[in-house]
Amino acid sequence: MSFKKKQIFWAFVMLSPWLLRLVFITIGPMASSLYYSFTKYPILSAPKWVGFNNYIKMFTDDPLFFKSLWNTLYYTLISVPLNLAVALGIAMLLNQKIWGVNVFRTIIYVPVMIPVVVSASLFMWIFNSEVGLSSILFNLFGAESPIWFRDPNLAKPALIIMNLWYLGRPMAIFLAGLQGIPKQLYEAADIDGAGSFRKFRNIVLPIMSPILFFNLIMGVIDSFQVFTPAFIITKGGPLNSTNFFMFHLYRQAFSFFKMGYASALSWILFIIILVMTLLISRSSRSWVFYQS
């Protein structure tokens, strides 16, 4: 065996764990779900081919399809920009050279490592209208605490506020980017008499735009797959106000045992996320600047 063939052989040996994972855990299940999306598959019996019936039913005979899609879109459009803005603002504060800054960085990041189930239980207490932290704060001002998770108008905003609990991940990425900005740029801006806003607009934003782009893509992908808070706290209610797309998909698969229909929903979700990612990537040409 020649030296080049040996290199190729050992390259595939080293890559084999990843390749096996790709085939059996990613490509295999995706191919299976694509097939099942064209079948009626009640799990306990063999799948039966029904063609495009699942997709037709989705758009014509499932009132919760558009409701869950709207709930998810609402959550994404508010949650993602809010998280990015707050995460960037906190990162800029934690980029200052002050005493104890590492402690504050740790405090902000710790919630990312807490299991979602634990965090959901914590926020069930925080937003409890009788004994929770929300109730205590409203009572201090002589107001009555809203019934957050039992009010259709407030349930989604409450979950959006809860999502701020996890801004440590984008904050850490923003912080790494801020620390990579050359100090000479700030010094030159000071010489020119630039204020804080001009420094932010002309230095921070252009240099941070690739990182902002990355966090935006990841935020959109994550928000379209929001599931656990709605499953644990609200069960999709009240009045389906938190019936997100992933929650609707889950119920179809594991509550109603419609695995074929759930597979069709998963592929629609895949297409939506793909289109959103491509649109954001295309728009990035006008606002993302890469340093040469």
Q: Do 79 and 223 contact (CB within 8 A), yes or no? A: yes
Looking at residue 190, its pLDDT comes to 86
Beta strands in the chain (DSSP E): 39-40, 48-49
- Answer for the pair 134, 50: CB distance below 8 angstroms, yes or no: no
Can you list the domains of the chain with their CATH numbers? Answer: 57-286 (1.10.3720.10)
Q: Is the pLDDT of residue 199 over 90?
A: no
pLDDT digit string (tens) for 238-267?
Answer: 999 999 999 999 999 999 999 999 999 999
Residue-level pLDDT at 161: 93
pLDDT score for 1: 60
Closest CA to 109 of 166, 159, 161, 160: 166
Average pLDDT over residues 20-48: 91
23 pLDDT band (50/70/90 cuts)?
A: confident
Q: Angle of helix 101-113 relative to helix 168-178, nearest 10 degrees? A: 140
106-113: list long-range contacts, CB under 8 Å, 24+ apart: 108/167, 108/168, 108/171, 109/168, 109/169, 109/171, 109/172, 110/168, 111/165, 111/166, 111/168, 112/166, 112/168, 112/169
pLDDT of residue 186 exceeding 90, the answer is: no
For residue 229, give the nearest of 215, 246, 217, 216 by alpha carbon: 246
Q: Is the pLDDT of residue 2 over 80?
A: no
pLDDT(44) > 90: no
Say how far apart CA 228 and CA 244 lie, in whole Å: 10
pLDDT at 215: 95
Weakest mean pLDDT among 33-47, 73-87, 132-146, 274-288:
132-146
- Which residues have CB under 8 Å from 220's CB, separation 6+? 76, 80, 273, 276, 277, 280
